[in-house]
Structure 1
Amino acid sequence: MRISSSIKAVVVSTIGFAALSLPGLAAPPTTFDLADETAGAEPKSFVPVVGFWRVADDNGKKVLVVDGRQWKEGQSSAGIADKARTLYGERYAEFLDRVQAYAYFPYVVAPNVQSFTDGEITVRFQGLSGRIDQGAGILFNLKQNGDYLTIRANCLENNLVLWKFENGKRSSVHWVRNTPTATHQWHDLKVRITGTKVEGYLDGKLYLEHTLAQPVSGRIGLWSKADSHMYFSDYTVTAAN
């Protein structure tokens, strides 16, 4: 989705939304959920690229789950070639080549948001299990070559980290410790982006501030790691241009 700088708009979407459209006028906030999706099936609102992602029922509410109990190192999502083509059309090959390099890190992509720049992305998450990791992250700045950024919390480590994935390698950009993130409890994670400035919030508290070398632009989604078994809910995108 490209939002012209001449359009003053706020768009809000959550897990389960079908599309974002701006017909030349400011669009009203739009909120969707997973109520119409099928428990046990892959999500329709997101494209699973790496890992096992399914819709689940949590006490009567549909949530998105990444099930790291089935994770195997180097394994991308089923039907990855078709999914890469869904995201990038006939120019999917470069993206597909890079996916295997990141197969340690499960993630899904919101197919109808082609380019997110300024605004906020929020999600609620709960760690269920995972001996290596219990990571929940917001993925953004995903490029066609597979490079991306993510801010993630971790229920085992109690830290908040801005990671950079570039040329098949991961490196930390900014690391904040002592961010309480208990397992088996719901938490709120938020990323706010203004130009090159990135802010990371956990449970309503600002923990992380960082200035990037270049402004953000690219696809967005959700991220996890290794054997993490996590619930995600209320994924919200607020793009303000």
Structure 2
Amino acid sequence: MSIQSGRGRTLAIYFATIVLGYALFIAPNLYFGIFKPNSGLTGENMAWIGLFQLVTVTALVWGALRLLGTGFREIGWDWSHWKRDALLGAALGGAWALVEMLLVYPSQGGAEHPHIAEIIAQIGGRPEAMLGYLVLGVLGGGVTEEIFNRGFTINVLRTAFADRRVGLYVAASFSIVAFMVGHLPRDGFDWIVIFIPTLIYTVLFVRTGRLTAPILAHGVHNALVLAIVWFAYAG
């Protein structure tokens, strides 16, 4: 990766971007949760949250990359093998969603599990609320989180190490931990359920060197989870 900055400057820009990025992810949730416009954190408003995250976080990453003298292609925005990447990502993301929703969550109470119950309450059986949640899951999750948590977080941090292999391991590990913490797991079960897809997305990115596969895996996973919640519990 061709970053045209010294190691100290790279790290300063990197960690400033990480902090600001997580603030931008959190900000719309706080806004809707505290001020409750249009009924607050409902499924319909999830679309606005997803769009806000897509625009602001992507713009932040773009600005940081410009300061570093590089661009989106250097963090994996490469669709040259999109068919193969899409199939791989969709297969793995979809497979985990099926295991999660048909085996794992039912063993923990199904609709009574706090995470599933929260989604059901926010959707409330409304198709427009389901659509809003889908926008958040695909754009805010599948696209924005992968650009930020995989592409930027891994590929920029790894350049700060003289040994790029060590840098890759450290950056990938940091990406996994930061992503998991950012999803606010409540207990050990949540940590495990978040860790597995996070590991899948990270391995896909590291193995392919492109964002295509993790974006598709993440987006398909989120969409399929919502579809199962809708047809099994909330529809």
For Structure 1 versus Structure 2, the TM-score category normalised by the shorter chain is under 0.3
- Structure number with higher helix proportion: 2
TM-score scaled to structure 2, two decimals? 0.28
- Structure number with higher strand proportion: 1
Rg comparison, structure with higher value? 2
TM-score scaled to structure 1, two decimals? 0.27
